[in-house]
């Protein structure tokens, strides 16, 4: 099954912020961020449910995929019945704290 990738509005803002940070602070590495993100999203289209669950609360399973070189996480939820992967957050692991995830997931 191939999943459609959908970003929440908050995840879209976080993605834009992370990308801007890489362009401003690591100009030579901004392409690396884009490449890692593209690879992760390609993987999520076909293997999203195969990655381990990060948080399970109230019937929801939140997973995350690390972008190893840029140290960002993509937090997402698989909605198999709808054929979608909902990206909830794109968050720099270097921050040392978790992103704000939807209610009921912490």
Distance in angstroms (rounded) separating the CA atoms of residues 49 and 66:
15
pLDDT of residue 90: 94
* pTM of this structure: 0.88
Cross-strand bridge partners of residue 53: 63
The CATH number linked to 42 is 3.30.2310.20
pLDDT of residue 105: 45
Distance in angstroms (rounded) separating the CA atoms of residues 65 and 51:
8
pLDDT of residue 81: 92
Query: Domain of 65?
Result: 4-95
Give the count of domains, the chain. Answer: 1
pLDDT of residue 20: 92
pLDDT of residue 104: 46
pLDDT of residue 40: 96
Q: Is residue 23 part of a domain?
A: yes
Query: What are the average pLDDT values for consecutive 10-residue runs of the chain, which has 106 residues?
Result: 93 93 85 94 94 87 93 94 94 71 55
pLDDT of residue 62: 93
Distance in angstroms (rounded) separating the CA atoms of residues 97 and 66:
14
Q: Is residue 16 part of a domain?
A: yes
pLDDT of residue 106: 40
Q: Is residue 19 part of a domain?
A: yes
Name 48's Cβ contacts closer than 8 Å, sequence gap at least 6: 3, 63, 76, 78, 85
pLDDT of residue 52: 93
Q: Are 24 and 45 in contact (CB under 8 A)?
A: no
Distance in angstroms (rounded) separating the CA atoms of residues 15 and 92:
10
């Amino acid at each position: 099954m191939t999943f459609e990738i959908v970003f929440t509005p908050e995840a879209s803002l976080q993605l834009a912020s992370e990308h801007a940070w890489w362009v401003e602070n690591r100009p030579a590495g901004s392409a690396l961020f884009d490449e890692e993100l593209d690879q992760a999203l390609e993987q999520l289209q076909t293997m999203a449910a195969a990655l381990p669950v990060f948080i399970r609360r109230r019937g929801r399973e939140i997973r995350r995929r690390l972008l190893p070189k840029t140290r960002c996480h993509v937090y997402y939820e698989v909605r198999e019945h709808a054929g979608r992967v909902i990206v909830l957050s794109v968050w720099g692991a270097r921050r040392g704290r978790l992103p704000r995830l939807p209610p009921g997931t912490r």
